[in-house]
Amino acid sequence: MLRRDTLAQLGRALQGCFQHTLDTLSRDDTGRALEEARSLAALLERMGAKELSVEAAVAGTLSHLQAHLEERATRNASAPWLAEALEYTASWPLRLLQQLLPEAGASGWHLWEQRLRYFVYERAGLIFTDSLFDLVVDFPDSLPTLHDLRACLENTSLLSHVAQCFAAATKKRLLHPGAATSDIVQQYIFSIRAMRHVDPTDTALAPARAATQDYLRTRRDAIRCIVGLLTADEEGEDNVVLEELEGEGEAGGAGVGWGMGVPLIPCFDGPDADLQALAEAERWRPEPVDAVERVTGSDAVSQLVGIWGSKDLLVTEYRSLLADRLLAKQGYDCDRELRTLELLKLRFGDAVLHTAEIMLKDLADSKRINANIRSAARCAARGERAATVTATMLSALYWPQGSVPAPDEADLRLPPDVGSWLEEYGQAYHALKAPRKLQWCPSQGVVQLEVTVGDQALELTVTPAQAITLLSFRERSEWGEAELAEQTGQTPAMARRNASFWAMAAYEPFILGMLANFDSLPQDRIHNMLKMFVSDPPYDKTLDQLSAFLAHLVAQERLTCGGGTMYKQKL
């Protein structure tokens, strides 16, 4: 009993001693610590407990390595360090082990080396796994570290642990009510992309993916969000969904169950078909034992669409977004939309996207017809005013219901002069495309006006309702709210809002000038500065009026709203 206690104590002392030797390698007392460790090992050997000294030395080495790895991970979060750590392990720690226990022989050392390497892979893998979610967020900057993790997974059996941890981190940090749907979708795509580099067999991602898909299914705006990302204007780095749609690069392959499939059995042709087949066969690796059922060859977009099991929902949503986007467009240029449509057609097939194609064709036709009418109108003396009109002709049946107001719906009442321009334009269309006739939707589109306030001339692009409201003030300088609403065919609330818009328009240059000189300003600061510095016309508006006007400027893409009530100049 006594002997066992003594031995255990000696073992612990040796372990500590050896670890200390390694910890203080660069310092002066290394030699002394090593001497001490040697004498302890000799003592243990004399007491007939040689195995114990080996165990203690290895344990000391391992705890040194553990500290070493942790220190490396905190010091070097961005650069890859696994290879260096392995190299380090093979140098000092192993060499000192050999010095301490010279009689173990080459095969013993080889075993130790294996053991130390495994330890490093495992510990490093655990360290990477702890920060895996952040690594995915930082993707592709974190790619070297992800490759390190991959090496760890290939040399250990951590795969299912990684999968569980990543799913837990995703649930905790992403799948909660505080996260915006677009962030979830983007992070989901980043996960898919990043985890391809960690684990090509898809096992590590599977639980997190299942959790994300389940969660997205509960979010009502998820489809709209995905489609929005698909059709977004910006080509910036943000738009990962579109990138995925475009890029066959990384994952290759096409959708699950529809579109072009990848042949399951590769075909080899030509004179060296045998060689190719052989090479392919040699590349083949069995799946890891803990592999889950694979979603073979499916890329991020298919996985996203797959959430709802059917593409119909997505296509419907796409059409309605496309309608909004096309109707908000000034001009007929829709190259970008066409490109997105082509990409979607590749994926979902032509048939379901037929109506969307007609919508885009409407715009192309409109461009041609409009140019025709305008050049004809310019030649004919009487139709000159029709040439100020630019129209988009829609085949109403093919546009999503609700995107275009029905003809019998109450709409804006145009002033007689403006109405006559439209009528002339309509007649020109009828002459060109008889028997077809145009049915106007006056509330859609935009109006470009030149307004003179005092001695400054403003070029403004406004909504038809705003323009009509202003034009009503040509005949009378004061209107009652109900009267104005009746006159222009708006609701009283709309009439009031549009009238107060014009009261604000004179301050637009000041607001823009202010924001040109300050990076961003909160709404109440803008309000105060207008009050303080603008005297002609004196600023007498309320914060609510300003707020509505700022919202209008944001909608016009003159300003951007950086969250809350901070406003910035649109660059």
Partner 1 sequence: MSTTATSGSIGGQPSPIKTGSTEPLQRLDTAAVAKRLQQELMSLMSSGEKGISAFPQGDSLFTWVGTIEGASGTVFEELTFRLSLNFGADYPFKPPTVKFETPCFHPNVDLQGNICLDILKEKCVRTVLQSIQSLLADPNNDSPLNVQAAKLWDQDQAVYRQMVMKTYNAAKTS
**Residues found near partner 1 in the complex (CB under 8 A):** 455-456, 509-510, 513-514, 516-518, 528-529, 532-536
Gap between the Cα atoms of 410 and 115, Å rounded: 81
Instruction: Give min distance, CB of 454 to partner 1, in A.
Output: 8
Judged by beta carbon, residue 110 or residue 531, the one nearer partner 1 is 531
For partner 1, give the closer residue by CB, 238 or 536.
536
Cα–Cα distance for residue pair 292/125, rounded to 1 Å: 20
Nearest approach in angstroms of CB 478 to partner 1 is 27
In the bound state with partner 1, the residue whose beta carbon lies nearer, of 232 and 511, is 511
**Least separation in angstroms between CB 565 and partner 1:** 18
- Cβ 304 to partner 1, closest distance in Å? 36
Least distance (Å) between residue 516 CB and partner 1: 4
Q: Which residues contact 293 (CB under 8 A, 6 or more apart)?
A: none
Smallest gap from Cβ 557 to partner 1, in A, equals 17
- Min dist CB 500 to partner 1, Å, is 21
148 CB neighbour count, 10 Å cutoff: 24
Nearer to partner 1, 395 or 456 (CB): 456
Give min distance, CB of 512 to partner 1, in A: 8
Side chain identity, residue 72: R
Q: Alpha-carbon distance 276 to 230, whole Å?
A: 38
Q: Do residues 89 and 116 touch, judged by C-beta distance below 8 A?
A: yes
Nearest residue (CB) to partner 1, 131 versus 528: 528
Angle of helix 464-472 versus helix 481-488 axis, rounded to 10 = 120
Of 401 and 448, which CB lies nearer to partner 1 in the complex structure?
A: 448
Q: What are phi and psi of 481, to 5 degrees?
A: -60, -45
3-state SS, 216-277, equals HHHCCCHHHHHHHHHHCCCCCCCCHHHHHHHCCCCCCCCCCCCCCCCCCCCCCCCCCHHHHH
Q: Closer CB to partner 1, residue 26 or residue 535?
A: 535
Kindly tell me which of 210 and 543 has the beta carbon lying closer to partner 1.
543
Please say which residue, 279 or 543, places its beta carbon nearer to partner 1: 543
* Beta carbon of residue 73, minimum distance to partner 1 (angstroms, whole number): 27
Q: Least distance (Å) from partner 1 to the CB of residue 549?
A: 16
CA distance 287 to 142: 26
Question: How far apart, in whole angstroms, are the C-alpha atoms of residue 195 and residue 206?
Answer: 10
Buried b (16+ CB within 10 A) or exposed e, 76-97: eeeebbbeebbebbeeebbebb
Q: CA dist 565 to 183, 256, 430, 506, 560, Å? A: 21, 44, 49, 21, 10
Radius of gyration of the chain (CA): 36
Q: How far apart are CA 133 and CA 174, in angstroms?
A: 10
Residue 405 tokens, joined: 């107001």
* Side chain identity, residue 541: K
Residue 1 or 457: the one with the smaller Cβ distance to partner 1 is 457
CB of 333 to partner 1, least distance (A): 25
Nearest distance in Å: CB 510, partner 1: 5
Helix count and strand count (H, E) for the chain = 25, 5
Contact status, residue 305 vs residue 252, Cβ threshold 8 Å: no
Cβ–Cβ contacts within 10 Å for residue 54, how many? 20
Residue 413 near residue 468 (C-beta atoms within 8 A): yes
The answer for residues whose C-beta is within 8 angstroms of residue 195's C-beta and 6 or more apart is 136, 166, 202, 204, 205
Q: For partner 1, give the closer residue by CB, 408 or 459.
A: 459
Q: What are the structure tokens assigned to 129, written together?
A: 């796994």
Q: Give the closest residue to 147 by CA, choosing from 135, 130, 165.
A: 135
- Quote the CA–CA distance of 280 and 271 in Å, as a whole number: 16
Quick check: 484 and 469 in contact, CB under 8 A? yes
**Least distance from partner 1 to the Cβ atom of residue 78, Å:** 17
Q: Residue 369 or residue 529: which is nearer to partner 1 going by CB?
A: 529
Residue found by looking up tokens 């299942």 in the block: 210
Query: Which is nearer to partner 1, 74 or 517 (by Cβ)?
Result: 517
What is the token pair recorded at 315? Answer: 């296509």
User: Which lies closer to partner 1 via its Cβ, residue 12 or residue 531?
Assistant: 531
Closest contact distance (angstroms) between CB of 543 and partner 1 is: 18
